[in-house]
A and B are shown apart, each in its own frame.
Chain A
């Protein structure tokens, strides 16, 4: 199996601030990877490192086996739809297609024009007159028609209304199926991702907290509630993600390698949103690197 993205000890520093630190990650190809985390957690930094817009201050990153943006061949393999889906405001839709055709040897012009026609975009329209959703679609078209192996999208739906959001993601999923793309997609909203992703990476405070198959994640996490007790008395194969206590009751979110047998707990399933929130959550989060490292292994 090849890896779409492999990071080892990857870090990016701005002055004294870590935008990303100690990021070790291995994402297989053929997946739709959701990258989720609060604003400012380091999602954009990780993606910009992956496409070579940034260079790391420490560690290494490999994308489809190559160093990001090192050569035209590497650039050809990776499509990128940057945050806010930048387009040239004075260029028409047609100009953007010509840009794509002139700058990419692998450009699929029929695909691009089909998509534009299907989306109902006017080729003569200037990009600055397009709506946010149309501009995102245009940027996505540029990313797909270049026929990359891996498509990276940074908060592509952040500025879209719910309807446009749904259409965009649906459309993206069709493209993924049609062209066998691997996708890495970031969002600060879990609800955007859970419909489309089959692999999840959670970044909080510039660190990767969780990275695994979505199903495996959902199967391994439980909400436990029962009489108040100290979380450190749990068996060794149960790791606390978050804990909250009332006077008499304790509620834990744990990651467990096996089934939970302790009859004192009532065990509940967690939705993805709650699970991610537990990782993002306040000071009760287990901050040892163990949690992150284990889920990667």
Chain B
């Protein structure tokens, strides 16, 4: 069975395996250089790294590869595993050798699945290791644009680093096998797998992860941390209330999930006080729902923010702190592994009663 498993996966395994090893080697080599750069530049590390196009490109490329990996494993390793047999009728050959159907499936899913997990682990951990200096710099208060400046607990970085890629790979692979067994045709099963995997990859960071016991902090709104608010502007003046005030909270390395302005009694408010429109000194550029951060940050609006503070207005921020990275990784990985387990159990049940 081991030989047959290998014989049937070797083409797909060669492509994915080679790409993964090349990427891991590139990360290893450049990762050492990133560490040297960190030692040399210290507080200017993120800015220095951003200016090195090769390394940022590798980071972006590697992250994209790890993001795509689950869909690739699910579609090319998982979906054809049973579907291709049913499609070609070869299950009638395979299931009449001296190996029960259950053992046939267990060996093929077990070995191929373990290989999928190994690829995901290799890339996830390599990328996490590569990014360690970035994490340290961001925790130290440095900031930047793109992935180089993204805290590892934030979406976009979180899914590609550490152990959570293993969870996504396991889930996608199990989903692919199950879809293939149910749909009985490889290509539709591949399409379904990709669609569902991408759906879950979008749903988890938007619908689930933000609600995994986020921390909360209330911070003062200042001219310095002011990040924007919206208003409808006509003739240089805001018409109607100003709303959606945002700040850059002083929470290095955290993922800000949401924020809202609260009044002195701690209740969230929808509209900012009406005097604020007069305070921010027209004229303002015209626009509907204009974000006013660039204009207002260039003027001295300190008095306005002081008045907001004096009236008791604060910004309440809901966030996932940098320190929760590994516990969030563990929770999400465990959840995905449970899903993968349920799908696998279903596949065994389904294949046993397949004709």
Q: By the criterion CB–CB under 8 Å, are A72 and B98 in contact?
A: yes
Task: Kindly state the separation between the CA atoms of A53 and B187 in the bound complex, as whole angstroms.
Answer: 24
Q: By the criterion CB–CB under 8 Å, are B97 and A103 in contact?
A: yes
State whether the Cβ of B213 lies closer than 8 Å to any Cβ in chain A: no
Q: Chain B nearest CB: distance from A40 CB in Å?
A: 16
Partner of B88, one of A69, A86, A105: A86
Q: By the criterion CB–CB under 8 Å, are A87 and B90 in contact?
A: yes
Residues of A within 8 A of B1 (CB): 102-103
Q: Chain A nearest CB: distance from B350 CB in Å?
A: 13
Task: Kindly state the separation between the CA atoms of A182 and B4 in the bound complex, as whole angstroms.
Answer: 29
Q: By the criterion CB–CB under 8 Å, are B88 and A72 in contact?
A: no
Residue of A nearest to B353 (CB): A55
Task: Kindly state the separation between the CA atoms of A53 and B2 in the bound complex, as whole angstroms.
Answer: 23
Q: How many residues of A contact B (CB 8 A)?
A: 34
A51 with B96, Cβ < 8 A, contacts A84-B89, A88-B90, A102-B4 known: yes
A87 with B93, Cβ < 8 A, contacts A95-B7, A103-B1 known: yes
Q: By the criterion CB–CB under 8 Å, are B3 and A98 in contact?
A: yes
State whether the Cβ of A76 lies closer than 8 Å to any Cβ in chain B: yes
Q: Mark B88-113, 1 if CB is under 8 A from A, else 0.
A: 11101111111111010000000000
Q: Chain A nearest CB: distance from B274 CB in Å?
A: 69
Q: Chain A nearest CB: distance from B14 CB in Å?
A: 14
Q: Mark B1-28, 1 if CB is under 8 A from A, else 0.
A: 1111001100000000000000000000
Q: By the criterion CB–CB under 8 Å, are B97 and A104 in contact?
A: yes
Partner of B96, one of A80, A83, A87, A102: A80
Q: By the criterion CB–CB under 8 Å, are B93 and A69 in contact?
A: no
Q: By the criterion CB–CB under 8 Å, are A146 and B97 in contact?
A: yes
State whether the Cβ of A203 lies closer than 8 Å to any Cβ in chain B: no
Q: By the criterion CB–CB under 8 Å, are B7 and A91 in contact?
A: yes
Q: Mark B156-198, 1 if CB is under 8 A from A, else 0.
A: 0000000000000000000000000000000000000000000
Residues of A within 8 A of B103 (CB): 72
Residues of A within 8 A of B208 (CB): none
Question: B residues touching A (Cβ–Cβ < 8 Å)?
Answer: 1-4, 7-8, 88-90, 92-101, 103, 353, 355
Question: A residues touching B (Cβ–Cβ < 8 Å)?
Answer: 48, 51-55, 69, 71-72, 75-76, 78-80, 82-84, 86-89, 91, 95, 98-100, 102-106, 139, 142, 146
Can you list 13 pairs linking A and B with CB atoms under 8 Å apart? Answer: A48-B355, A53-B355, A54-B355, A72-B100, A79-B96, A80-B96, A82-B89, A83-B92, A84-B89, A86-B92, A88-B93, A89-B88, A103-B1
